[in-house]
């Protein structure tokens, strides 16, 4: 596995949260993308979501990155503060991603099936049988 990080979801205030975290931890913000950058309305996002943060990262240490995004407005009703965190796994291979996804899925539920996306060769998310939320990312360099 390349790395494991924490991924936080917000309801429209990711930018403010990460600017605050940057001040607290003195880290460097990187990979700041909006929903406009991720395909915009042609990818199914509402016009009002285009300025929302689709992905942002803040390196806290050499080995740890805090990441986050705003959920699309259509999903705000499903967001529950306190359970808005994921363990993000950046896997070494598609095979490793599939193996871990299937293993953690045992007794759990799929949020996003494993598939190719604009940002990854393979991406998926699930909630395991204990209620822990997992994201999987594989990309080639």
pLDDT (mean) for 36-61: 92
Give residue 41's domain range. 3-138
Tell me, what CATH number does 114's domain have?
A: 3.10.180.10
On average, the pLDDT of the chain sits at 90
Token pair of 72, please? 């699309």
102 beta partners = none
In the block, residue with structure tokens 């594989």: 138
Say how many domains are in the chain.
1
How far apart CA 101 and CA 112 sit, in angstroms, is: 11
For the sheet with 53-61, list strands across it: 28-34, 53-61, 64-70, 3-10, 85-90, 133-138, 122-127, 109-115
pLDDT over 90 (residue 62): no
pLDDT (mean) for 118-138: 90
**Alpha-helical segments (H) within the chain:** 14-25, 94-105
**Residue (of 87, 89, 76) closest to 10 by Cα position:** 76
């Amino acid at each position: 596995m390349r790395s494991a990080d924490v991924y936080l979801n917000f309801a429209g205030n990711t930018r403010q949260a990460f600017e605050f975290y940057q001040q607290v931890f003195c880290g460097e913000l990187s990979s700041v993308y909006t929903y406009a950058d991720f395909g915009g309305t042609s990818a199914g996002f509402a016009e009002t979501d285009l300025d929302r943060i689709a992905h942002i990262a803040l390196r806290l240490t050499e080995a740890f990155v805090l990441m986050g995004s705003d959920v699309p407005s259509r999903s705000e009703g499903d967001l529950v503060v306190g359970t808005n965190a994921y363990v993000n796994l950046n896997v070494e291979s598609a095979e490793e991603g599939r193996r871990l996804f299937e293993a953690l899925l045992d007794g759990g539920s799929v949020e996003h099936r494993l598939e190719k996306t604009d940002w990854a060769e393979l991406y998926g998310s699930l909630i395991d049988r204990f209620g822990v939320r997992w994201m999987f990312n594989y990309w080639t360099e």
